[in-house]
């Protein structure tokens, strides 16, 4: 093809684009001229057959043609929006209705929890998803032989010195709980401390109706130089239960064990569905296990440099998904992550 033929082809292509009556016609011309198998890319591929002395001028002309065609196509597409030709816009079509979105159940529970504890003077603290062994285990009085530190239970990260080698990385992991935020808060502040710590956590769980490898927790911590008792903890959780689940809900404490609290308790809420009489939600027991809690172990205070003889406090933690499933009657945790519009519309 000679330079004169190139100019003629360019003029014809620009005329066709100018005459395009709708978006479909514009798209056909885009494919015809600048698509992968279009005429202009074909000319570029055939440059090797052009005499060597003519290639510079020929290549410059082809690139100029391509630039003008692309500009004309873009202008044609943007013309209705810019107030130009309305040939591609049918004014008789009905308008599109965009339904308003709704807050996700997990976001709603986190926001509601922050509001409730905010009334009690708690502030929200945050921390990184990637944590150290010290913050996630050691400072929380979790011994090295504890099962939670095993590679089968925790996502350890390969640090540079261990890449391609053998052995267990010594420091970094995806946090298994949001309790490390409590450690960071105590390391950076002096008592009194009153925080809640919402966030994502990660464990090597097999996903099923009630478990997920990636879920959310909210931890709470109150430490003061004034005496703090288990009765204070119970009153705070009772207030939270009533605000979150309704005025008729009560709280029950059962003895338990956690490495970072002593004494430790499991916290149950009376079933808000059957009012404690027994139903499918509470498995006929009248109670629903919700949280773990207790008085902060003195050894935890020592790890962060606080004197356990001068401070006392309590800590608690619960799963956001569990609260959402109980509150909204969701039987399968996987529904919270599948983004099924039918489910989300019902919750909304």
Identify the pLDDT of residue 271.
Answer: 83
d(CA 101, CA 174): 31
Q: What is the pLDDT of residues 111-137, one digit of tens each?
A: 999 999 999 999 999 999 999 999 999
CA 121 vs. chain centroid, Å, equals: 27
The answer on 199 and 316 residing in a single domain is yes
Q: Are residues 140 and 15 in the same domain?
A: no
The pLDDT > 90 percentage for the chain reads: 43
pLDDT of residue 89: 63
Residue 203 is assigned to a structural domain of this protein: yes
Q: Which distant-in-sequence residues (6+ apart) come within 8 Å of 130 by Cβ?
A: 157, 172, 173, 174, 175
pLDDT digit string, tens, across residues 154-187: 998 876 554 444 444 458 999 999 999 999 999 9
pLDDT number for residue 160: 56
The pLDDT, as a whole number, for residue 274 is 82
Model pLDDT, residue 165: 43
Structurally, the chain folds into a number of domains equal to 2
The answer to whether 260 and 142 are in contact (CB under 8 A) is yes
**Among candidate residues 298, 299, 300, 293, the one with its CA nearest the CA of residue 314:** 293
Taking the mean position of all CA atoms in its chain, how far away is CA 134? 25
Total Cβ atoms within 10 A of residue 193 = 20
Q: How many helices (H) and strands (E) does the chain have?
A: 11, 9
Extract the residue ranges of the chain whose pLDDT is less than 70.
79-89, 159-170, 348
Q: What is the pLDDT of residue 81?
A: 46
Name the DSSP class of 332: -
> CA-CA-CA-CA torsion for 210, 216, 222, 228, nearest 10 degrees?
0
pLDDT of residue 159: 62
Of the residues 40, 59, 78, which one is the last residue of a structural domain?
A: 78
Q: Is 97 inside a domain boundary?
A: no
Specify whether 257 is located in the same domain as 123: yes
**Beta strand pairing call for 193-202 and 123-124:** parallel
Contact 321, 212 (CB under 8 A): yes
What are the C-alpha distances in Å from 201 to residues 22, 72, 147, 197, 213? 51, 52, 17, 11, 8
Model-wide pTM > 0.75: no
The answer to whether 233 and 314 are in contact (CB under 8 A) is: yes
Same-domain check for residues 65 and 202: no
Summary mean pLDDT of the chain = 86
Which structural domain range is residue 218 located in? 105-347
- The per-residue pLDDT for 80 is 54
| Same domain flag for 44 and 136 | no
Neighbour order of strands in the sheet with 287-296: 123-124, 193-202, 214-224, 312-319, 287-296, 261-270, 251-258
pLDDT of residue 168: 46
Is 83 inside a domain boundary?
no
Residues 180 and 174: their CA atoms lie apart, in Å, by 11
- Domain assignment of residue 122, yes or no: yes
Same domain, yes or no: 39 and 115: no
């Amino acid at each position: 093809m000679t330079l004169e033929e190139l100019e003629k082809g360019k003029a014809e292509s620009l005329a066709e684009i100018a005459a395009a009556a709708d978006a479909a016609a514009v798209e056909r011309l885009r494919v015809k001229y600048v698509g992968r198998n279009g005429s202009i890319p074909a000319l570029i591929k055939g440059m090797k057959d052009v005499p060597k002395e003519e290639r510079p001028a020929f290549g410059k002309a082809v690139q100029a043609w391509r630039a003008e065609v692309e500009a004309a196509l873009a202008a044609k597409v943007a013309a209705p929006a810019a107030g130009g030709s309305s040939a591609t816009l049918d004014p008789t079509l009905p308008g599109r209705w965009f339904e308003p979105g709704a807050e996700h159940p997990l976001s709603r529970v986190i926001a509601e929890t922050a509001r409730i504890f905010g009334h009690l003077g708690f502030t929200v603290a945050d921390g990184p998803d990637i944590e150290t062994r010290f913050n996630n285990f050691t400072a929380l009085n979790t011994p090295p032989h504890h099962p939670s530190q095993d590679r089968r239970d925790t996502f350890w990260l390969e640090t540079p010195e261990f890449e391609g080698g053998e052995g267990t990385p010594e420091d970094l992991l995806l946090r298994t709980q949001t309790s490390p935020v409590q450690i960071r808060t105590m390391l950076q502040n002096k008592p009194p401390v009153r925080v809640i710590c919402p966030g994502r956590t990660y464990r090597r769980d097999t996903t099923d109706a009630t478990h997920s490898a990636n879920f959310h927790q909210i931890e709470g911590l109150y430490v003061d130089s004034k005496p703090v008792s288990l009765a204070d903890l119970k009153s705070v959780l009772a207030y939270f239960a009533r605000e979150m689940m309704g005025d008729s809900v009560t709280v029950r404490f059962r003895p338990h064990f956690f490495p970072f609290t002593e004494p430790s308790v499991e916290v149950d809420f009376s079933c808000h569905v059957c009012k404690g009489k027994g139903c499918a939600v509470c498995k006929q027991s009248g109670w629903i296990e919700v949280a773990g809690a207790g008085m902060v172990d003195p050894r935890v205070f020592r790890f962060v440099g606080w004197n356990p003889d001068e401070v006392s406090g309590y800590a608690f933690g619960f799963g956001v998904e569990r609260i959402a499933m109980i509150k909204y009657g969701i039987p399968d945790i996987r529904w919270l992550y599948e983004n099924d519009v039918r489910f989300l519309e019902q919750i909304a």
